[in-house]
Amino acid sequence: MRNRHSAGARALYHSPRKYSSFSTRESWVNTGKNTQQTRLKRFLSGGHKRRKTSVFQQDTQTGLISVILITVRYGTILVKNDLRGAVSAIIKTPEEIEKMRVAGKLAADVLTMITPHVKKGVTTDELNTICHDYIVNEQNAIPAPLNYGHPPFPKSICTSVNHCICHGIPSDKKLKDGDILNIDVTVIKDGYHGDTSKMFTVGKPSILAERLIRVTQECLYQAIQEVKPGMRLGDIGHICQTHAEKHNYSIVREYCGHGIGASFHEEPQIVHYGKPGTGEELLPGMCFTIEPMVNAGKRYSKVLPDQWTVVTKDRSLSAQWEHTLLMTETGVEILTLREEETIDRVISHS
Ligand code: MF3
Ligand code: CO
Ligand code: CO
């Protein structure tokens, strides 16, 4: 997930609190291609109020279209605001979407492949090696975490055990009975990223641990079920937060989901707490992750001296699940769905 405060996954441009408070939006569309122009027109004049009131002009010299209220560059929505600076979300072309499907499937396959290996006595470094070799040799893909960020992440997957919230570095420590862990896999295939994670239990986990894991997955699933054009970022956050807090758990705020595509971490940031009806609007063609991190205790986190490992401050257990999603015209497609899951891959609200 994206680190919202420090060097980690990627530095933060702005405070997410300001997400809901922008008033002027401006964007540019390079409509070299007619299809892009048509698409833009369609979505600007679409059902939503904000789009209806949008106007745009084309600069005949540069081919750039400037739009008042909402702005789109060829494939990119740029949202500008005095308080926040520019935030952009990339609207994927059909060709890019196809590549996202492939990358998403590969990332999901890695989690499925590694599942039988997660058991008592195995080290997280051994799990890392198995995943690395599978991604590189079988999938002819690239493990995105390896050398990512500053300092460079040293391994090919993240393994976050027990009170580790995220970005755990695989090590020679053996898994033991009762451990819970998250394995987070991101692959790059043909230039595009698929990012997904799931929870595992080792031997017999406590009732509390199992409940935490289940509720965290419910946060993800409930949010996914509601994703459709016109949904706002605050709605996603609200769904996750409400469900976690209903069970007396807390949502981690320093790390969040993210846009994804040719880059690992793109705009927008998808925080897992918030108020309904606030924040940026989701549009068809966006790809992003939802990846709630839920603590059994307080929400506070700290980063270990290795500058990556994030743990709960109170050492309470933490769980996380993640999917990469595509916004469609009517709902959502889960690009990283695994066969073991019961939720539908394509959810349509029309
Ligand atoms: N996979 C994480 C995410 O969901 C990011 C991990 S960054 C790494 O965004 F460098 F630790 F791999
Ligand atoms: Co992610
Ligand atoms: Co991830």
Q: How does residue 65 score in pLDDT terms, banded at 50, 70 and 90?
A: very low
* 174, 319 Cβ separation under 8 angstroms: no
Ligand 1 neighbours (beta carbon < 6 A)? 1-2, 9, 145, 148-149, 153, 158, 167, 184, 186, 195, 291, 308, 322
- The arithmetic mean of pLDDT across residues 215-220, rounded, is 98
Separation between Cα atoms, residue 217 and residue 319, nearest integer Å: 9
Q: What distance in angstroms lies between residue 266's CA and the mean position of ligand 2's atoms?
A: 10
Task: Give nearest CA residue, ligand 1 atom 11.
Answer: 167
* 56, 65 Cβ separation under 8 angstroms: yes
- The arithmetic mean of pLDDT across residues 259-275, rounded, is 95
Task: Give nearest CA residue, ligand 1 atom 4.
Answer: 1
Q: How does residue 89 score in pLDDT terms, banded at 50, 70 and 90?
A: confident
Residue 113 pLDDT > 60: yes
* 43, 75 Cβ separation under 8 angstroms: no
Q: List, for residues 120-157, the tens digit of each pLDDT value.
A: 999 999 999 999 999 999 999 999 999 999 999 999 99
Residue 78 pLDDT > 80: no
Q: What is the pLDDT of residue 35?
A: 43
Q: What is the pLDDT of residue 334?
A: 98
Cα separations in angstroms, 348 against 232, 240, 327, 328 = 17, 20, 10, 8
pTM: 0.81
Identify residue 80 by its one-letter amino acid code. Answer: K
Separation between Cα atoms, residue 253 and residue 250, nearest integer Å: 9
State the pairing for strand pair 76-81/142-143.
unpaired
Which residues fall within 8 angstroms of residue 187, CB to CB, at 6 or more apart? 103, 106, 107, 110, 135, 139, 141, 142, 143, 144, 193, 194
Separation between Cα atoms, residue 190 and residue 285, nearest integer Å: 19
Among 132, 186, 252, residue to substitute to test ligand 1 (most atoms within 8 Å of Cβ): 186
Domain residue spans of the chain = 2-10+94-348, 23-82
Separation between Cα atoms, residue 109 and residue 118, nearest integer Å: 15
Identify residue 101 by its one-letter amino acid code. Answer: R
Separation between Cα atoms, residue 49 and residue 219, nearest integer Å: 29
Could you list which residues have their CB under 5 Å from ion ligand 3? 184, 195, 322
Q: What is the pLDDT of residue 258?
A: 95
Residue 341 pLDDT > 70: yes
Q: What distance in angstroms lies between residue 248's CA and the mean position of ligand 2's atoms?
A: 25
Residue 82 pLDDT > 70: no
Q: Domain 2-10+94-348, what fold?
A: Creatine Amidinohydrolase (3.90.230)
Task: Give nearest CA residue, ligand 1 atom 2.
Answer: 1
Q: How does residue 76 score in pLDDT terms, banded at 50, 70 and 90?
A: low
Q: List, for residues 268-282, the tens digit of each pLDDT value.
A: 999 999 999 999 889
Q: How does residue 2 score in pLDDT terms, banded at 50, 70 and 90?
A: low
- The arithmetic mean of pLDDT across residues 8-22, rounded, is 26
Q: How does residue 62 score in pLDDT terms, banded at 50, 70 and 90?
A: low
Q: What distance in angstroms lies between residue 241's CA and the mean position of ligand 2's atoms?
A: 18
